[in-house]
Protein backbone atom coordinates (compact mmCIF):
# COMPACT_ATOMS: atom_id res chain seq x y z
CA UNK A 1 0.00 0.00 0.00
CA UNK A 2 1.29 3.42 -0.81
CA UNK A 3 2.50 5.29 2.19
CA UNK A 4 0.43 8.25 3.33
CA UNK A 5 2.31 11.48 2.93
CA UNK A 6 2.63 13.65 5.97
CA UNK A 7 0.54 16.76 5.42
CA UNK A 8 0.29 19.98 7.29
CA UNK A 9 -1.51 19.97 10.63
CA UNK A 10 -5.23 20.59 10.43
CA UNK A 11 -6.87 23.50 12.20
CA UNK A 12 -8.03 22.86 15.72
CA UNK A 13 -11.23 20.96 15.77
CA UNK A 14 -14.28 22.50 17.49
CA UNK A 15 -14.48 21.45 21.12
CA UNK A 16 -10.82 20.61 21.31
CA UNK A 17 -8.54 21.99 24.03
CA UNK A 18 -6.72 24.11 21.49
CA UNK A 19 -9.95 25.70 20.29
CA UNK A 20 -10.94 26.63 23.90
CA UNK A 21 -7.57 28.22 24.52
CA UNK A 22 -7.83 30.29 21.33
CA UNK A 23 -11.31 31.55 22.27
CA UNK A 24 -10.09 32.43 25.76
CA UNK A 25 -7.20 34.37 24.28
CA UNK A 26 -9.49 36.27 21.91
CA UNK A 27 -12.07 37.19 24.57
CA UNK A 28 -9.39 38.48 26.95
CA UNK A 29 -7.79 40.45 24.12
CA UNK A 30 -4.40 39.00 24.88
CA UNK A 31 -2.21 38.92 21.75
CA UNK A 32 -0.62 35.61 21.03
CA UNK A 33 2.72 35.30 19.34
CA UNK A 34 1.67 32.64 16.89
CA UNK A 35 3.08 32.08 13.48
CA UNK A 36 0.53 32.22 10.71
CA UNK A 37 2.78 30.88 8.05
CA UNK A 38 1.14 27.88 6.31
CA UNK A 39 -1.65 27.93 8.91
CA UNK A 40 -1.47 28.02 12.70
CA UNK A 41 1.83 27.04 14.22
CA UNK A 42 1.57 24.13 16.52
CA UNK A 43 2.94 25.93 19.62
CA UNK A 44 2.67 29.45 21.06
CA UNK A 45 4.90 31.56 23.29
CA UNK A 46 2.13 31.81 25.93
CA UNK A 47 1.23 28.71 27.86
CA UNK A 48 -2.29 27.76 28.85
CA UNK A 49 -1.55 28.46 32.53
CA UNK A 50 -0.26 31.96 31.76
CA UNK A 51 -3.36 32.77 29.71
CA UNK A 52 -5.65 31.68 32.53
CA UNK A 53 -3.65 33.77 34.99
CA UNK A 54 -3.92 36.89 32.79
CA UNK A 55 -7.68 36.47 32.43
CA UNK A 56 -8.20 36.05 36.18
CA UNK A 57 -6.08 39.14 36.83
CA UNK A 58 -8.07 41.18 34.31
CA UNK A 59 -11.42 40.29 35.82
CA UNK A 60 -10.31 40.69 39.44
CA UNK A 61 -8.86 44.21 38.97
CA UNK A 62 -12.31 45.79 38.52
CA UNK A 63 -13.77 44.06 41.56
CA UNK A 64 -10.71 45.03 43.61
CA UNK A 65 -11.28 48.70 42.70
CA UNK A 66 -14.92 48.58 43.79
CA UNK A 67 -14.11 46.74 46.99
CA UNK A 68 -11.35 49.25 47.76
CA UNK A 69 -13.87 52.10 47.61
CA UNK A 70 -16.27 50.20 49.82
CA UNK A 71 -13.51 49.43 52.29
CA UNK A 72 -12.46 53.10 52.31
CA UNK A 73 -16.03 54.26 53.03
CA UNK A 74 -16.38 51.60 55.69
CA UNK A 75 -13.09 52.63 57.25
CA UNK A 76 -14.18 56.26 57.38
CA UNK A 77 -17.45 55.27 59.02
CA UNK A 78 -15.59 53.19 61.57
CA UNK A 79 -13.18 56.06 62.22
CA UNK A 80 -16.05 58.52 62.72
CA UNK A 81 -17.84 56.12 65.03
CA UNK A 82 -14.65 55.54 66.98
CA UNK A 83 -14.02 59.29 67.20
CA UNK A 84 -17.58 59.85 68.42
CA UNK A 85 -17.23 57.15 71.05
CA UNK A 86 -13.91 58.58 72.20
CA UNK A 87 -15.42 62.06 72.51
CA UNK A 88 -18.39 60.75 74.50
CA UNK A 89 -16.06 58.83 76.80
CA UNK A 90 -14.13 62.04 77.47
CA UNK A 91 -17.33 63.96 78.13
CA UNK A 92 -18.52 61.28 80.54
CA UNK A 93 -15.23 61.54 82.38
CA UNK A 94 -15.56 65.33 82.54
CA UNK A 95 -19.06 65.00 84.00
CA UNK A 96 -17.72 62.57 86.60
CA UNK A 97 -14.93 65.05 87.38
CA UNK A 98 -17.50 67.74 88.22
CA UNK A 99 -18.02 65.87 91.48
CA UNK A 100 -14.33 65.50 92.26
CA UNK A 101 -12.99 66.81 95.57
CA UNK A 102 -10.23 68.78 93.86
CA UNK A 103 -11.17 72.31 92.82
CA UNK A 104 -8.56 72.20 90.07
CA UNK A 105 -10.09 69.05 88.62
CA UNK A 106 -13.60 70.51 88.69
CA UNK A 107 -12.46 73.71 86.99
CA UNK A 108 -10.68 71.75 84.26
CA UNK A 109 -13.84 69.68 83.71
CA UNK A 110 -16.01 72.82 83.49
CA UNK A 111 -13.67 74.34 80.92
CA UNK A 112 -13.54 71.17 78.81
CA UNK A 113 -17.32 70.89 78.83
CA UNK A 114 -17.66 74.58 77.95
CA UNK A 115 -15.48 74.13 74.88
CA UNK A 116 -17.39 71.01 73.82
CA UNK A 117 -20.84 72.56 74.39
CA UNK A 118 -19.80 75.68 72.48
CA UNK A 119 -18.48 73.93 69.38
CA UNK A 120 -20.56 70.74 68.93
CA UNK A 121 -24.16 69.59 68.78
CA UNK A 122 -24.66 67.22 71.73
CA UNK A 123 -28.42 66.97 72.28
CA UNK A 124 -28.59 63.17 72.07
CA UNK A 125 -25.74 62.82 74.53
CA UNK A 126 -27.05 65.43 77.00
CA UNK A 127 -30.76 64.64 76.89
CA UNK A 128 -30.31 61.56 79.07
CA UNK A 129 -27.72 63.23 81.34
CA UNK A 130 -29.29 66.66 81.84
CA UNK A 131 -30.36 65.98 85.43
CA UNK A 132 -26.89 64.76 86.35
CA UNK A 133 -25.22 67.77 84.75
CA UNK A 134 -27.72 70.17 86.33
CA UNK A 135 -27.14 68.67 89.77
CA UNK A 136 -23.37 69.03 89.35
CA UNK A 137 -23.72 72.67 88.24
CA UNK A 138 -26.01 73.43 91.16
CA UNK A 139 -23.39 71.99 93.51
CA UNK A 140 -20.67 74.14 91.91
CA UNK A 141 -22.82 77.26 92.20
CA UNK A 142 -23.65 76.61 95.84
CA UNK A 143 -20.31 75.38 97.17
CA UNK A 144 -17.69 76.44 94.63
CA UNK A 145 -15.41 79.44 94.73
CA UNK A 146 -15.73 82.56 92.58
CA UNK A 147 -14.11 81.07 89.47
CA UNK A 148 -16.08 77.86 89.71
CA UNK A 149 -19.38 79.73 90.14
CA UNK A 150 -18.69 81.88 87.08
CA UNK A 151 -17.78 78.84 84.96
CA UNK A 152 -20.81 76.86 86.14
CA UNK A 153 -23.23 79.69 85.31
CA UNK A 154 -21.82 79.97 81.79
CA UNK A 155 -21.97 76.20 81.26
CA UNK A 156 -25.57 76.15 82.44
CA UNK A 157 -26.62 78.55 79.66
CA UNK A 158 -24.84 76.35 77.12
CA UNK A 159 -26.73 73.34 78.50
CA UNK A 160 -30.05 75.13 77.91
CA UNK A 161 -28.97 76.02 74.36
CA UNK A 162 -27.96 72.40 73.70
CA UNK A 163 -31.33 71.16 74.98
CA UNK A 164 -33.09 73.48 72.57
CA UNK A 165 -35.02 75.62 75.03
CA UNK A 166 -37.86 73.08 75.35
CA UNK A 167 -39.45 71.49 78.40
CA UNK A 168 -36.16 69.84 79.37
CA UNK A 169 -34.30 73.16 79.41
CA UNK A 170 -37.21 74.85 81.19
CA UNK A 171 -37.12 72.21 83.93
CA UNK A 172 -33.38 72.77 84.44
CA UNK A 173 -33.85 76.56 84.48
CA UNK A 174 -36.54 76.44 87.15
CA UNK A 175 -34.24 74.26 89.26
CA UNK A 176 -31.29 76.69 89.10
CA UNK A 177 -33.18 80.01 88.96
CA UNK A 178 -33.15 80.53 92.78
CA UNK A 179 -29.40 79.97 93.16
CA UNK A 180 -28.55 82.18 90.16
CA UNK A 181 -30.74 84.90 91.65
CA UNK A 182 -29.13 84.54 95.07
CA UNK A 183 -25.58 84.91 93.71
CA UNK A 184 -26.50 87.91 91.56
CA UNK A 185 -27.98 89.77 94.52
CA UNK A 186 -25.24 88.77 96.98
CA UNK A 187 -22.99 91.80 97.43
CA UNK A 188 -20.36 89.62 99.07
CA UNK A 189 -20.06 87.36 96.00
CA UNK A 190 -17.32 87.98 93.44
CA UNK A 191 -18.04 90.35 90.56
CA UNK A 192 -17.07 87.70 88.01
CA UNK A 193 -19.61 85.23 89.40
CA UNK A 194 -22.32 87.89 89.55
CA UNK A 195 -21.63 88.93 85.96
CA UNK A 196 -21.94 85.33 84.75
CA UNK A 197 -25.17 84.91 86.70
CA UNK A 198 -26.60 88.10 85.18
CA UNK A 199 -25.86 86.86 81.67
CA UNK A 200 -27.22 83.41 82.53
CA UNK A 201 -30.47 84.83 83.87
CA UNK A 202 -30.93 87.01 80.80
CA UNK A 203 -30.20 84.35 78.19
CA UNK A 204 -31.99 81.49 79.98
CA UNK A 205 -35.08 83.65 80.47
CA UNK A 206 -34.93 84.64 76.80
CA UNK A 207 -34.75 80.96 75.82
CA UNK A 208 -36.98 79.31 78.42
CA UNK A 209 -39.28 81.95 79.91
CA UNK A 210 -40.31 83.83 76.77
CA UNK A 211 -43.89 82.59 77.08
CA UNK A 212 -44.10 82.98 80.84
CA UNK A 213 -44.91 86.62 81.58
CA UNK A 214 -44.60 86.26 85.34
CA UNK A 215 -41.10 84.77 85.31
CA UNK A 216 -39.96 87.21 82.66
CA UNK A 217 -41.05 90.28 84.61
CA UNK A 218 -39.37 88.97 87.75
CA UNK A 219 -36.04 88.59 85.97
CA UNK A 220 -36.44 92.02 84.33
CA UNK A 221 -36.97 93.64 87.73
CA UNK A 222 -34.03 91.70 89.16
CA UNK A 223 -31.65 92.91 86.45
CA UNK A 224 -32.96 96.48 86.73
CA UNK A 225 -32.19 96.52 90.42
CA UNK A 226 -28.54 95.78 89.56
CA UNK A 227 -27.71 98.27 86.80
CA UNK A 228 -29.82 101.07 88.28
CA UNK A 229 -27.06 101.47 90.87
CA UNK A 230 -25.10 103.20 88.09
CA UNK A 231 -27.83 105.83 87.59
CA UNK A 232 -27.22 109.43 88.74
CA UNK A 233 -28.33 110.34 92.24
CA UNK A 234 -30.86 113.02 93.13
CA UNK A 235 -28.30 115.74 92.45
CA UNK A 236 -27.60 114.40 88.96
CA UNK A 237 -24.13 113.08 89.86
CA UNK A 238 -23.03 109.64 88.83
CA UNK A 239 -22.08 107.44 91.82
CA UNK A 240 -18.53 106.29 92.36
CA UNK A 241 -18.36 102.71 91.19
CA UNK A 242 -16.61 100.00 93.16
CA UNK A 243 -14.02 97.76 91.42
CA UNK A 244 -15.79 95.53 88.90
CA UNK A 245 -19.02 97.51 89.25
CA UNK A 246 -19.20 98.78 85.64
CA UNK A 247 -18.65 95.25 84.35
CA UNK A 248 -21.51 93.93 86.46
CA UNK A 249 -23.79 96.82 85.50
CA UNK A 250 -22.98 96.35 81.82
CA UNK A 251 -23.72 92.60 81.95
CA UNK A 252 -27.04 93.21 83.72
CA UNK A 253 -27.96 96.00 81.27
CA UNK A 254 -27.24 93.85 78.21
CA UNK A 255 -29.21 90.92 79.64
CA UNK A 256 -32.09 93.27 80.47
CA UNK A 257 -32.13 94.83 77.01
CA UNK A 258 -32.36 91.35 75.47
CA UNK A 259 -35.48 90.61 77.53
CA UNK A 260 -37.01 94.01 76.80
CA UNK A 261 -37.51 92.88 73.18
CA UNK A 262 -40.15 90.45 74.50
CA UNK A 263 -42.12 92.97 76.56
CA UNK A 264 -45.73 93.94 75.74
CA UNK A 265 -46.45 97.41 74.43
CA UNK A 266 -47.89 98.66 77.71
CA UNK A 267 -44.83 97.57 79.67
CA UNK A 268 -42.43 98.81 76.99
CA UNK A 269 -43.90 102.31 77.11
CA UNK A 270 -43.25 102.51 80.85
CA UNK A 271 -39.72 101.21 80.48
CA UNK A 272 -38.88 103.81 77.82
CA UNK A 273 -40.17 106.66 79.97
CA UNK A 274 -38.36 105.37 83.04
CA UNK A 275 -34.96 104.44 81.64
CA UNK A 276 -34.12 106.49 78.55
CA UNK A 277 -33.41 109.77 80.42
CA UNK A 278 -31.32 107.99 83.09
CA UNK A 279 -29.37 106.00 80.52
CA UNK A 280 -28.51 109.19 78.68
CA UNK A 281 -26.82 110.46 81.85
CA UNK A 282 -24.83 107.21 82.09
CA UNK A 283 -23.10 108.03 78.80
CA UNK A 284 -20.75 110.10 80.96
CA UNK A 285 -19.51 106.97 82.78
CA UNK A 286 -15.75 106.65 83.10
CA UNK A 287 -15.78 103.00 81.91
CA UNK A 288 -15.64 102.66 78.13
CA UNK A 289 -17.32 99.25 77.96
CA UNK A 290 -20.20 100.40 80.11
CA UNK A 291 -20.60 103.53 77.96
CA UNK A 292 -20.81 101.34 74.87
CA UNK A 293 -23.38 99.04 76.50
CA UNK A 294 -25.45 102.11 77.42
CA UNK A 295 -25.22 103.55 73.89
CA UNK A 296 -26.32 100.30 72.25
CA UNK A 297 -29.19 99.95 74.74
CA UNK A 298 -30.38 103.48 73.98
CA UNK A 299 -30.39 102.72 70.25
CA UNK A 300 -32.34 99.49 70.88
CA UNK A 301 -34.94 101.24 73.04
CA UNK A 302 -35.40 103.98 70.45
CA UNK A 303 -35.87 101.32 67.76
CA UNK A 304 -38.54 99.59 69.85
CA UNK A 305 -40.21 102.94 70.45
CA UNK A 306 -40.28 103.69 66.72
CA UNK A 307 -41.71 100.24 66.03
CA UNK A 308 -44.61 101.13 68.34
CA UNK A 309 -45.01 104.67 67.02
CA UNK A 310 -43.34 106.07 63.90
CA UNK A 311 -43.47 109.53 65.47
CA UNK A 312 -41.61 108.42 68.59
CA UNK A 313 -39.11 111.03 69.78
CA UNK A 314 -36.49 110.89 72.51
CA UNK A 315 -36.83 113.41 75.29
CA UNK A 316 -34.10 116.03 74.90
CA UNK A 317 -33.00 114.46 71.61
CA UNK A 318 -30.82 117.50 70.94
CA UNK A 319 -28.81 116.97 74.10
CA UNK A 320 -28.58 113.23 73.40
CA UNK A 321 -27.24 113.80 69.88
CA UNK A 322 -24.71 116.32 71.16
CA UNK A 323 -23.44 113.80 73.70
CA UNK A 324 -23.27 111.07 71.06
CA UNK A 325 -21.29 113.35 68.71
CA UNK A 326 -18.80 114.02 71.45
CA UNK A 327 -18.30 110.30 72.08
CA UNK A 328 -18.13 109.56 68.34
CA UNK A 329 -15.23 111.99 67.95
CA UNK A 330 -13.54 111.40 71.30
CA UNK A 331 -9.78 111.88 70.99
CA UNK A 332 -8.71 112.01 74.62
CA UNK A 333 -5.15 110.72 74.82
CA UNK A 334 -5.56 109.33 78.33
CA UNK A 335 -7.77 106.58 76.89
CA UNK A 336 -6.30 103.54 75.15
CA UNK A 337 -6.16 103.77 71.38
CA UNK A 338 -8.21 100.59 70.89
CA UNK A 339 -10.85 101.85 73.33
CA UNK A 340 -11.10 105.16 71.48
CA UNK A 341 -11.44 103.41 68.12
CA UNK A 342 -14.10 101.01 69.40
CA UNK A 343 -16.05 103.80 71.10
CA UNK A 344 -15.99 106.08 68.06
CA UNK A 345 -17.18 103.27 65.77
CA UNK A 346 -20.12 102.28 67.99
CA UNK A 347 -21.28 105.79 68.75
CA UNK A 348 -21.15 106.84 65.10
CA UNK A 349 -23.63 104.04 64.41
CA UNK A 350 -25.83 105.05 67.34
CA UNK A 351 -25.76 108.70 66.28
CA UNK A 352 -26.69 107.90 62.66
CA UNK A 353 -29.59 105.82 63.85
CA UNK A 354 -30.93 108.44 66.26
CA UNK A 355 -30.54 111.31 63.78
CA UNK A 356 -31.32 109.66 60.43
CA UNK A 357 -32.85 106.28 61.27
CA UNK A 358 -29.91 104.59 59.51
CA UNK A 359 -28.47 101.26 60.60
CA UNK A 360 -25.07 99.91 59.54
CA UNK A 361 -25.85 96.45 58.27
CA UNK A 362 -23.58 93.49 58.87
CA UNK A 363 -23.45 90.09 57.15
CA UNK A 364 -22.30 86.95 58.95
CA UNK A 365 -21.12 84.20 56.60
CA UNK A 366 -21.06 80.60 57.77
CA UNK A 367 -21.31 77.08 56.41
CA UNK A 368 -19.27 75.92 53.42
CA UNK A 369 -17.53 77.92 50.74
CA UNK A 370 -19.54 76.65 47.77
CA UNK A 371 -22.51 78.51 46.33
CA UNK A 372 -24.86 75.78 47.54
CA UNK A 373 -23.49 75.47 51.05
CA UNK A 374 -22.54 78.99 52.14
CA UNK A 375 -25.20 80.71 54.21
CA UNK A 376 -25.50 84.30 55.34
CA UNK A 377 -27.16 85.99 58.26
CA UNK A 378 -27.94 89.68 57.75
CA UNK A 379 -28.04 91.94 60.81
CA UNK A 380 -30.14 94.92 59.83
CA UNK A 381 -31.52 96.23 63.12
CA UNK A 382 -30.51 96.69 66.75
CA UNK A 383 -32.82 93.97 68.03
CA UNK A 384 -31.19 91.39 65.77
CA UNK A 385 -27.72 92.59 66.73
CA UNK A 386 -28.48 92.29 70.46
CA UNK A 387 -29.69 88.70 70.00
CA UNK A 388 -26.70 87.66 67.90
CA UNK A 389 -24.17 89.40 70.17
CA UNK A 390 -25.58 87.62 73.22
CA UNK A 391 -25.02 84.17 71.68
CA UNK A 392 -21.70 85.13 70.11
CA UNK A 393 -20.41 86.27 73.49
CA UNK A 394 -21.54 82.96 75.00
CA UNK A 395 -20.19 80.59 72.31
CA UNK A 396 -17.32 82.68 70.94
CA UNK A 397 -15.90 81.03 67.79
CA UNK A 398 -18.30 78.07 68.11
CA UNK A 399 -21.28 80.27 67.25
CA UNK A 400 -20.85 79.56 63.52
CA UNK A 401 -21.21 75.83 64.10
CA UNK A 402 -24.44 76.45 66.01
CA UNK A 403 -25.65 78.81 63.28
CA UNK A 404 -25.39 75.91 60.86
CA UNK A 405 -27.17 73.20 62.81
CA UNK A 406 -28.69 74.41 66.10
CA UNK A 407 -32.47 74.50 65.69
CA UNK A 408 -32.99 76.88 68.61
CA UNK A 409 -30.49 79.48 67.45
CA UNK A 410 -31.65 79.31 63.84
CA UNK A 411 -35.24 79.73 64.99
CA UNK A 412 -34.37 82.73 67.21
CA UNK A 413 -32.46 84.44 64.39
CA UNK A 414 -34.98 83.55 61.68
CA UNK A 415 -32.65 81.33 59.63
CA UNK A 416 -35.12 78.53 59.04
CA UNK A 417 -34.41 74.80 59.44
CA UNK A 418 -30.82 73.50 59.30
CA UNK A 419 -29.43 72.46 55.89
CA UNK A 420 -29.97 68.77 56.65
CA UNK A 421 -33.71 69.44 56.80
CA UNK A 422 -34.16 70.94 53.35
CA UNK A 423 -32.66 70.74 49.87
CA UNK A 424 -29.31 72.47 49.58
CA UNK A 425 -30.31 73.58 46.11
CA UNK A 426 -32.64 76.08 47.75
CA UNK A 427 -29.79 77.83 49.54
CA UNK A 428 -28.24 80.04 46.83
CA UNK A 429 -31.01 82.64 46.84
CA UNK A 430 -30.19 86.05 45.49
CA UNK A 431 -28.57 87.91 48.39
CA UNK A 432 -31.04 90.79 48.60
CA UNK A 433 -33.96 88.35 48.46
CA UNK A 434 -32.43 86.32 51.29
CA UNK A 435 -31.84 89.52 53.24
CA UNK A 436 -35.51 90.50 53.01
CA UNK A 437 -36.58 86.97 53.82
CA UNK A 438 -34.41 86.83 56.94
CA UNK A 439 -35.64 90.23 58.11
CA UNK A 440 -39.27 89.24 57.65
CA UNK A 441 -38.71 85.89 59.36
CA UNK A 442 -36.98 87.52 62.33
CA UNK A 443 -39.76 90.07 62.82
CA UNK A 444 -42.42 87.39 62.40
CA UNK A 445 -40.72 85.24 65.00
CA UNK A 446 -40.46 88.12 67.43
CA UNK A 447 -44.16 88.82 67.04
CA UNK A 448 -44.94 85.13 67.48
CA UNK A 449 -42.91 84.91 70.68
CA UNK A 450 -44.55 88.11 71.90
CA UNK A 451 -48.15 87.03 71.34
CA UNK A 452 -48.42 86.66 75.08
CA UNK A 453 -47.88 90.42 75.45
CA UNK A 454 -51.53 91.47 75.46
CA UNK A 455 -52.55 88.32 77.33
CA UNK A 456 -50.15 89.01 80.18
CA UNK A 457 -50.48 92.80 80.19
CA UNK A 458 -52.26 92.64 83.53
CA UNK A 459 -49.47 90.53 84.97
CA UNK A 460 -46.88 93.01 83.73
pLDDT in tens, the chain (460 residues): 444 444 444 444 555 555 554 565 555 544 444 443 444 444 444 455 554 455 445 445 545 555 656 666 566 666 667 888 889 999 999 999 999 999 999 999 999 999 999 999 999 999 889 999 999 999 999 999 999 999 999 999 999 999 987 888 999 999 999 999 999 999 999 999 999 999 999 999 999 876 667 888 899 999 999 999 999 988 778 888 888 999 999 999 999 999 999 998 888 999 999 999 999 999 999 899 999 999 999 999 999 999 998 889 888 889 999 999 999 987 676 667 787 888 899 999 999 999 999 999 999 988 765 556 788 899 999 999 999 999 999 999 899 999 988 999 999 998 888 875 443 433 434 444 444 444 555 555 555 555 544 444 444 4
Task: Determine phi and psi for 138, rounding to 5 degrees.
Answer: -60, -40
- CA 260 to mean position of chain CA atoms: 23
**What SS3 state is found at 374?**
strand
What DSSP designation does 336 have? -
What DSSP designation does 76 have? H
Q: Return the closest-CA partner of residue 224 out of 205, 252, 204, 250.
A: 252
Name 289's Cβ contacts closer than 8 Å, sequence gap at least 6.
Answer: 246, 247, 250
**Contact 366/360 with Cβ under 8 angstroms?**
no
- Global pTM value: 0.76
Half-sphere exposure (Cβ direction) of 243: Cα atoms closer than 13 Å: 3
**What SS3 state is found at 39?**
coil
Stretch (H or E) spanning 335? none
Predicted local confidence at residue 184, as pLDDT: 97
Q: Measured between alpha carbons, how far is 454 from 460 in angstroms, rounded to an integer? A: 10
Predicted local confidence at residue 190, as pLDDT: 95
From residue 102, give the alpha-carbon distance in Å to each of 91, 365, 393, 420: 18, 42, 29, 42
Task: Determine phi and psi for 374, rounding to 5 degrees.
Answer: -70, 135
**Contact 296/386 with Cβ under 8 angstroms?**
yes
Q: Is 239 left (phi over 0), alpha (psi -120 to 50) or beta?
A: beta
Query: Number of helices (H) and strands (E), helices first, in the chain?
Result: 19, 2
Q: Which CATH architecture has domain 92-208?
A: Alpha Horseshoe (1.25)
| Neighbouring C-beta atoms of residue 326, cutoff 10 Å | 13
Beta-bridge partner residues of 366: 375
Task: Determine phi and psi for 375, rounding to 5 degrees.
Answer: -125, 160
Name 18's Cβ contacts closer than 8 Å, sequence gap at least 6.
Answer: 12
Output the CA angle 313-318-319, nearest 5 degrees.
115
Q: Measured between alpha carbons, how far is 203 from 162 in angstroms, rounded to an integer? A: 13
Q: What are the sequence ranges of the domains in the chain?
A: 17-61, 92-208, 246-359, 363-394+410-450
Amino acid sequence: MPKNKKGKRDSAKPGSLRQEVLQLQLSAKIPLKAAVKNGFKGETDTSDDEVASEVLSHHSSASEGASAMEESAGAREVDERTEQEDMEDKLKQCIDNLMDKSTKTRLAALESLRRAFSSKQLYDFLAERRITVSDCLERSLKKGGAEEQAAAATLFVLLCVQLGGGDEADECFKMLLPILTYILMDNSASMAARQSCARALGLCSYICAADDGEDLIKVLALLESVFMHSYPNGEGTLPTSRPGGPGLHGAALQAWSLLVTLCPTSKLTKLLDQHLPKLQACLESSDVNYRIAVGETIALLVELGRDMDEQFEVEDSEGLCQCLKSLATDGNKHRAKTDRRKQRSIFREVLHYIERDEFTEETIKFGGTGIRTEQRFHIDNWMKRRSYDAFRQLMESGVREHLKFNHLLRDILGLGPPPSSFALACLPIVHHEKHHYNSAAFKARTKQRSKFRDKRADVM
